[in-house]
Structure 1
Amino acid sequence: MYRKNALAAGVAAALAWGSVTMVAAQSTAAPQPTAAAGTSAAQPGAGFRAMTADTRSEAIRTANRNAAATARELGLGPDERLVAKDVLIDTDGTRHVRYDRTYRGLPVIGGDLVVHLAEDGTTTGSDLAHQGAIRVAGTTPKLTAADASAKAVKHAKHVKKAKAGSKDSTLVVYAVGKIPVLAYRSTVTGAGETGPTSREAVIVDATTGALLDQYELHQNATGTGNGVTVGQVSIETTQTGSGYTLTDPAHGGTIVYDSYNSPQSNPRQNARAFSKTTNSWGNGTTSSRESAAVDASYGLAKTWDYYKNSFNRSGIRNDGRGARAYVHVDTNLLNAFYDDNCFCMYFGDGSSQNGNTPLATLDVGGHEMTHGVTAATANLTYSGESGGLNEATSDIFGTMVEFSAGNAGDPGDYYIGEKLNMSGGYMRRMDNPAADGRSLSCWNSGAGSADVHLSSGIGNHFFYLAAEGTGAKTIGGRSHTGTTCNNDSFAGIGKDKAAAVWYRALTTYMTSTTNYAGARTATLQAAADLYGANSQERYLVSKAWAAVSVGTALPDPGTGTPTPSPTTPTPSPTTPPGGNALTNGSFEQGTGGWTQSDNIITNSSLQTARDGSWYAWMMGYGADAVESLSQSNVAVPSTGTPKLTFWLKVSTQESGSTAYDTLKVNVNGTTLATYSNADASSGYVQKTVDLSAYKGQTVKLEFAGTEDTYLSTIFLVDQIAIG
Structure 2
Amino acid sequence: MIGTTAPSNAASPPAPFSAAARSAAVGAADRAVAGGAIAPTKLPGEQYLRGTVTPWVDNLYSISYTRTYRGLPVVGGDAAVLVDGTGKVRALETADRLPTDLPSEPTVGAEAAETAARARLSVVDKVDTRRLVVRLNANSAQPAWEIVLVGRTETGPSRLHVFVDARTGTVIDSYDDAHAGTGHSKWNGPDPITITTASSGGTHFMQDLTRPGLSCAKYNGGVLTKPVDDWGNGNPTGIETGCVDAMWAAQKEWDMLRTWLGRNGHNGAGRTWPVVVGLNQINAWFDGTRVVVGHDNSFQWIGAMDVVGHEYAHGIDQTSPGYPFAQPGLSEGTGDIFGALTEAYANEPAPFDTPDYTVGEMIDLGGPLRHMYNPALTGDPNCYTSTLPPDEHRASGPLNHWFHLLAEGSNPGGGKPNSPTCNNSSLTGVGIQTAGKVFYGGLLLRTSGTNYPKVRRQTLLAAKGLDPTCALFKKTRDAWNAVAVPATAGDPTCP
1:490 counterpart residue number: 427
Contact 1:96 1:117 in 2 (8 A): yes
Partner-residue secondary structure (3-state), 1:114: strand
1:607 counterpart residue number: none
1:481 counterpart residue number: 418
Taking the aligned partners of 2:228 and 2:358, their CA distance within structure 1 comes to 36
2:222 counterpart residue number: 272
Taking the aligned partners of 1:215 and 1:145, their CA distance within structure 2 comes to 19
Contact 2:372 2:397 in 1 (8 A): yes
The C-alpha deviation readout for 1:67-122, integer Å capped at 9, x for no partner, is 99467984444534433332245777665421122334433211110134565657
1:354 counterpart residue number: 297
Give 1:146 deviation, angstroms.
Answer: 2.2
| 1:664-679 equivalent positions in 2, closer than 5 A | none
Taking the aligned partners of 2:29 and 2:287, their CA distance within structure 1 comes to 28
Partner-residue secondary structure (3-state), 1:278: coil
1:505 counterpart residue number: 442
2:137 counterpart residue number: 176
Taking the aligned partners of 1:102 and 1:597, their CA distance within structure 2 comes to 27
Taking the aligned partners of 2:91 and 2:430, their CA distance within structure 1 comes to 28
Give 1:462 deviation, angstroms.
Answer: 0.5
Taking the aligned partners of 1:283 and 1:56, their CA distance within structure 2 comes to 49
1:331 counterpart residue number: 280
Structure 1: unaligned runs, 5 residues or longer: 1-48, 263-270, 552-566, 568-595, 600-723
Give 1:327 deviation, angstroms.
Answer: 1.5
1:397 and 2:345 are equivalent in the alignment: no
What is the aligned-residue identity percentage? Answer: 29
Higher mean alpha-carbon deviation, 64-73 vs 95-104, is at 64-73
Structure 2: unaligned runs, 5 residues or longer: 1-14
1:115 counterpart residue number: 81
1:703 counterpart residue number: none
Q: Which amino acid aligns with 2:265?
A: G
Give 1:152 deviation, angstroms.
Answer: 2.3
2:72 counterpart residue number: 106
Partner-residue secondary structure (3-state), 1:324: coil
Taking the aligned partners of 2:100 and 2:86, their CA distance within structure 1 comes to 29
2:11 counterpart residue number: none
Contact 2:278 2:301 in 1 (8 A): no
Give 1:301 deviation, angstroms.
Answer: 0.8
Partner-residue secondary structure (3-state), 2:425: coil
Out of 433, 437, 444, which is 2:385 matched to?
444
1:515 and 2:451 are equivalent in the alignment: yes
Taking the aligned partners of 1:68 and 1:539, their CA distance within structure 2 comes to 29
TM-score w.r.t. length of structure 2: 0.84
Give 1:303 deviation, angstroms.
Answer: 0.5
| 1:253-332 equivalent positions in 2, closer than 5 A | 253-258=212-217, 260-262=218-220, 271-286=221-236, 288-321=238-271, 323-328=272-277, 330-332=279-281
Taking the aligned partners of 2:239 and 2:401, their CA distance within structure 1 comes to 36
1:462 counterpart residue number: 402
The C-alpha deviation readout for 1:272-297, integer Å capped at 9, x for no partner, is 22222211011122453211111121
Bigger CA radius of gyration: 1
Alpha carbons of 1:246 and 1:132: their partners in 2 closer, same or farther (altered >3 Å)? same
| 1:119-198 equivalent positions in 2, closer than 5 A | 121=87, 126-131=92-97, 136-138=102-104, 140-154=105-119, 156=120, 161-163=122-124, 169-188=130-149, 192=153, 194-195=155-156, 197-198=157-158
Alpha carbons of 1:481 and 1:177: their partners in 2 closer, same or farther (altered >3 Å)? same
Q: Which has the higher contact order (CA 8 A, sep 6+)?
A: 1
Out of 528, 550, 575, which is 2:485 matched to?
550
Q: Which amino acid aligns with 1:467?
A: A
Give 1:212 deviation, angstroms.
Answer: 1.9
Give 1:199 deviation, angstroms.
Answer: 4.4
1:541 and 2:483 are equivalent in the alignment: no
Taking the aligned partners of 1:287 and 1:355, their CA distance within structure 2 comes to 8
Give 1:405 deviation, angstroms.
Answer: 0.4
Q: CA RMSD in A?
A: 3.4
Give 1:545 deviation, angstroms.
Answer: 1.1
Partner-residue secondary structure (3-state), 2:290: strand
Q: Which amino acid aligns with 2:359?
A: I
Give 1:412 deviation, angstroms.
Answer: 0.5
1:684 counterpart residue number: none
Contact 1:201 1:214 in 2 (8 A): yes
TM-score w.r.t. length of structure 1: 0.59
1:426 counterpart residue number: 368
Taking the aligned partners of 1:104 and 1:136, their CA distance within structure 2 comes to 11
Taking the aligned partners of 2:198 and 2:160, their CA distance within structure 1 comes to 37
Taking the aligned partners of 1:289 and 1:93, their CA distance within structure 2 comes to 42
| 1:646-685 equivalent positions in 2, closer than 5 A | none
Out of 407, 413, 417, which is 2:356 matched to?
413
Alpha carbons of 1:402 and 1:207: their partners in 2 closer, same or farther (altered >3 Å)? same
1:531 counterpart residue number: 467
Contact 1:93 1:118 in 2 (8 A): yes
1:232 and 2:209 are equivalent in the alignment: no
Taking the aligned partners of 2:387 and 2:107, their CA distance within structure 1 comes to 35
Taking the aligned partners of 1:246 and 1:363, their CA distance within structure 2 comes to 21
Taking the aligned partners of 1:124 and 1:328, their CA distance within structure 2 comes to 43
Give 1:229 deviation, angstroms.
Answer: 4.7
Alpha carbons of 1:134 and 1:315: their partners in 2 closer, same or farther (altered >3 Å)? farther
Taking the aligned partners of 1:215 and 1:96, their CA distance within structure 2 comes to 25
Taking the aligned partners of 1:85 and 1:60, their CA distance within structure 2 comes to 14
Contact 2:184 2:304 in 1 (8 A): no
Alpha carbons of 1:58 and 1:542: their partners in 2 closer, same or farther (altered >3 Å)? closer
Alpha carbons of 1:56 and 1:143: their partners in 2 closer, same or farther (altered >3 Å)? farther
2:10 counterpart residue number: none
| 1:631-650 equivalent positions in 2, closer than 5 A | none
2:411 counterpart residue number: 471
Give 1:430 deviation, angstroms.
Answer: 0.3
Taking the aligned partners of 1:229 and 1:194, their CA distance within structure 2 comes to 29
Give 1:224 deviation, angstroms.
Answer: 5.9
**Count of matched residue pairs:** 473
Greater strand fraction, Structure 1 or Structure 2: 1
Taking the aligned partners of 1:399 and 1:177, their CA distance within structure 2 comes to 32
Out of 218, 222, 245, which is 2:205 matched to?
245
Give 1:402 deviation, angstroms.
Answer: 0.4
Alpha carbons of 1:369 and 1:70: their partners in 2 closer, same or farther (altered >3 Å)? farther
Taking the aligned partners of 1:175 and 1:550, their CA distance within structure 2 comes to 24
